[in-house]
Structure 1
Amino acid sequence: MPVFRYGEWQNGPDPLAPPYDVRAAVDEMGDRVMQGDSLRDALRDLIRRGPRDGRGLDELRARAQRLRRDALRRGNLDGAVTRARQMLDQALAAERDALAAREDDDARFAEAQLDSLPRSVSQAVGELSEYRWASEDARQIYQQILDGLRQEVVEQRFAGMKQALRQGDLTDVSAMVSDLNDLLGKHARGEDTDDAFREFMDKHGQFFPDNPRTVDELIDSLARQAAAAERLMRSLSPQQREELQNLMAQALGDGPLAEQLAELTDNLKALRPGMNWGRGERMRGPNDLGYGDAASALGEIADLDELIDQLGQEHPGATLDDVDVEAVERQLGRGAADDVRRLRELERELRRQGWVQRDTEGLTLSPKALRRLGHTALARIFQDIAGGKRGEHDMRDAGAAGDLIGSSRRWEFGDDQPLDVVRTIGNAVRRRAASRDLQTLPVRLEPDDFEVAETERRASAAVALCVDLSYSMYADGRWGPMKQTALALSHLVATKYPQDSLQIIGFGLHAQTLGQGELAAIEPTIEKGTNLQHALMLAGRHLRRHPGAEPVVLVVTDGEPTAHLEEDGEAVFWWPPTPETVRATVREVDQLTRYGATLNVFMLGDDPGLQRFIGKVAERNGGRVFSPDAEELGRYVIDDYVRARRGRR
């Protein structure tokens, strides 16, 4: 029998691993939105950091930046000039040895020529172009200086030129570059170049091993190489640049190739002006890089710069579609490319599954997402709501909020009706007696013994939740708990008490009624003012629209009222509070009191002015005052709502 061994997947991401949890991503974005961030920022940060237990763009960008730093330490860029000087010194040493063995005047004259050579490598190489070498070894070394540099320059621009360069013939190279310039000229003029491109590739395709399929692909490839060569020149000191340019001119000879390459660079600059042509880099390292290696290193740095910019997503309108996945795989590996693909899929799934939507104001959370946020916020406040069966059975009566009607029924898991103690104990005693157990004391209760008192459904409740939107709520870390509490209460009313009517009212300098979506999307502003008077006015209107409902008013605030509405509807702000603001607010409290509404206030912070004011409000209205920590706000509000809707005792 064959033996199979199974272990952890090693070759990149696990192909059987589940995709990102979209719901968890919604919750994570919701947390950010609750804290006051915009949905766009929350989604962008989710993609940048990655979902829970996932890798995001920031990690990939950090890897690209590390690779860039490593590339900058690869070596010195003036290696071509340094190598030429070393080879020239070898050639001159071999030539001097050959001349020293001779006694004739020609040898002495040649030695004088060598002694008078300029210190500049390029100038020395230029003066030796007509020199008659006495040493064959010296002549070959000198020729290698020019041949090697010419080969590096041409190969750096055209990867498929090795065979032509080995033959020492630049005719084919020159013909290809000439045809290439003609093709790019037609493309720049907007002419149809499909046929011309095919003809060019049929004739010169052996010089382009990457096999470009279109003119644009060809231009992109050539432009990257040309830009790398330009960056190399920009990265050298003026003296090094002059030396290398002179050496390159001598290596390319007197033919048309040098001018053709210059024309090609100009054409590519015109066709790809957005490419970074003029940026230089300061590279240092233990090695002297030749022309090809130096240009290759700078080209790699340029590719990493472009990738870092794509992964940063900092330009306006940036999306994951801007990230070149092939470049990610080329620079960072297949695993990184798979991470980008999964992030793209997550972004698409958020839209496809209807968690986010786009309207005239931009990206917003959908009603489906708001319901989930409300459910999640409520579950955090009461863990048993998410995991238990509280309230999930059929509602045959009004629950704890109703009036007793004298009958009872068996208790079911999740009931919140009051226990019928007499019938419960009677059931236990009769059960014991039926078992012929004469020991009836103490009475031992079993789950089947419990009965609950049935109630008659009472009228629904009209609930007004007034939440403070002043900037201090955000600055002191109370913005998120406030929004989560409001969403949790909204979800509770919609799912457990659908007969109730909830109105969320936010107040700053002015008050406004808020739907779930508006509440989730609202962001903090630095506008000053706490207009509780306007909020209570809107709360009174909501209660009066539901005259048969139990009136419930809940206020969450961290500061005393500092604004009120004038008769013309304009808001007036002043701090410390003016008597006019206090009187206007108290008038609204008194109107709610006469209507029969109890005003319960959740006071955040320890502002002495707020404590004095809220204390007086409680005395006039008979409501209660709570002073919870921000983290406990949701539990306090939900519990007080459930208690308040049962009616006043």
Structure 2
Amino acid sequence: LRQNALNQIFGNLKKHGTGNHKTKKSGAGDELTGEFRDYNFGDSLDKISMTESIKNAQINNGIGNFSLTEQDLIVQETNFKAQMSTVLMIDISHSMILYGEDRITPAKKVAMALIELIRTRYPKDTMDILVFGNDAWMISVKDLPYLKVGPYHTNTVAGLQLALDILRRKRNTNKQIFMITDGKPSCLRLSDGTYYKNSNGLDSYIVEKCYNMAAQARKLHIPITTFMIAKDPYLMQFIQHFTVANQGKAFYTGLKGLGEMIFEDYEQNRKRNIRKF
């Protein structure tokens, strides 16, 4: 992912737990803001601006009788760098290889790129991976290259429920979900343990449950970024409504690699082309 795409994915972070994500909050970090303030006891000495401190001392004490005291010290502000807890959801339903279209291979490429990015650039972050078909379950990173689709429907709700359960146990304030899918939910597990399935188009009952989960995640301040591995207009429309319900983000990519995607950010209500994934 290009740097601007990454910044959009990780969005606005809250100040909690020192990590590697830049935030708009001041605090521990190495990203200078260009702003200054008086020194406070406990501030790191390497953040003291000697130029501004000497200038302040000259103003306070005069040039002829120069002295530098603690009251003269000026500190340059830096941006706080935060931690993030992420759950990556991967659709392994049969529709990911239906009609001769291999959607699982680009899905795995997106997943592996995101994991490599987070491990190398944001090593203090946590990353959990789950797959969803008729049900949802967690997998390890080493299983990703060998991931295959199954004779499953798409229980998006089960995937989101498991993702939220995982994130509830995380201490980080900043939490998010990445979902890689072809965008067609077709299954629900009912309270009696049976499955409600419908592969014909988009079932309004199933779709509404998905929107409810998106809204629930929004109430928990957990944004969902969807990587849509299909360009069927009616499925893209579902993802658009889903993203609006969560106030999250969406990437749309076709099956010819990941060279260009359409990025939609409903927080800012804007759309961008992202090249060179």
- TM-score greater than 0.5 by the shorter chain: yes
CA contact (8 A) 2:135 2:158 kept: yes
Computed over aligned residues only, the root mean square deviation of the Cα atoms, in angstroms, reads 3.4
Task: Mark the CA change 1:631 to 1:498 in structure 2 (over 3 Å): closer, same or farther.
Answer: farther
Give yes or no for the alignment of 1:596 onto 2:230: no
Deviation at 1:479, TM superposition (A): 1.8
Return 5+ residue gaps in structure 2 as ranges.
3-17, 37-50, 52-75, 266-277
- The match for 2:41 is none
Identity between Structure 1 and Structure 2 (%)? 25
- The match for 2:26 is 405
Deviation at 1:468, TM superposition (A): 1.4
Deviation at 1:504, TM superposition (A): 1.4
Task: Mark the CA change 1:513 to 1:488 in structure 2 (over 3 Å): closer, same or farther.
Answer: same
Structure-1 separation of matches of 2:250 and 2:234: 14
Structure-1 separation of matches of 2:227 and 2:196: 24
Task: Mark the CA change 1:604 to 1:491 in structure 2 (over 3 Å): closer, same or farther.
Answer: closer
Return 5+ residue gaps in structure 1 as ranges.
1-380, 383-396, 410-416, 428-451, 641-649
Structure-2 separation of matches of 1:621 and 1:534: 17
Higher RCO (CA-CA < 8 Å; seq separation 6+): 2
After TM superposition, the score normalised by the length of structure 2 is 0.63
Task: Mark the CA change 1:453 to 1:472 in structure 2 (over 3 Å): closer, same or farther.
Answer: farther
Deviation at 1:501, TM superposition (A): 1.3
What is the DSSP-based 3-state SS (H/G/I as helix, E as strand, rest coil) of the residue aligned with 1:568?
coil
Q: Give the structure with the higher percent strand.
A: 2
Q: Which amino acid aligns with 1:550?
A: N
Structure-2 separation of matches of 1:400 and 1:521: 30
Task: Mark the CA change 1:634 to 1:585 in structure 2 (over 3 Å): closer, same or farther.
Answer: farther
Structure-1 separation of matches of 2:225 and 2:29: 33
What is the DSSP-based 3-state SS (H/G/I as helix, E as strand, rest coil) of the residue aligned with 2:129?
strand
Structure-2 separation of matches of 1:604 and 1:559: 8
Give yes or no for the alignment of 1:614 onto 2:239: yes
- The match for 2:250 is 625
Structure 2 residue corresponding to 1:540, chosen from 145, 164, 173: 164
Deviation at 1:494, TM superposition (A): 2.7
Task: Mark the CA change 1:477 to 1:595 in structure 2 (over 3 Å): closer, same or farther.
Answer: same
Aligned length: 208
CA contact (8 A) 2:87 2:178 kept: yes
Q: Which amino acid aligns with 2:145?
A: A
Structure-2 separation of matches of 1:626 and 1:565: 28
Structure with higher Rg: it is 1
- The match for 1:497 is 122
Deviation at 1:627, TM superposition (A): 1.2
Structure 2 residue corresponding to 1:509, chosen from 134, 155, 174: 134
Deviation at 1:406, TM superposition (A): 7.9
Task: Mark the CA change 1:635 to 1:568 in structure 2 (over 3 Å): closer, same or farther.
Answer: farther
After TM superposition, the score normalised by the length of structure 1 is 0.29
Deviation at 1:500, TM superposition (A): 1.3
Structure-2 separation of matches of 1:561 and 1:507: 10
Structure-1 separation of matches of 2:27 and 2:219: 33
Give yes or no for the alignment of 1:471 onto 2:125: no
What is the DSSP-based 3-state SS (H/G/I as helix, E as strand, rest coil) of the residue aligned with 1:626?
strand
Task: Mark the CA change 1:479 to 1:407 in structure 2 (over 3 Å): closer, same or farther.
Answer: closer
Q: Which amino acid aligns with 1:595?
A: L
CA contact (8 A) 2:252 2:261 kept: no
CA contact (8 A) 1:399 1:455 kept: no
Q: Which amino acid aligns with 1:483?
A: K
What is the DSSP-based 3-state SS (H/G/I as helix, E as strand, rest coil) of the residue aligned with 1:616?
helix
Task: Mark the CA change 1:523 to 1:547 in structure 2 (over 3 Å): closer, same or farther.
Answer: same
CA contact (8 A) 2:106 2:229 kept: no
What is the DSSP-based 3-state SS (H/G/I as helix, E as strand, rest coil) of the residue aligned with 1:457?
strand
Task: Mark the CA change 1:510 to 1:405 in structure 2 (over 3 Å): closer, same or farther.
Answer: closer
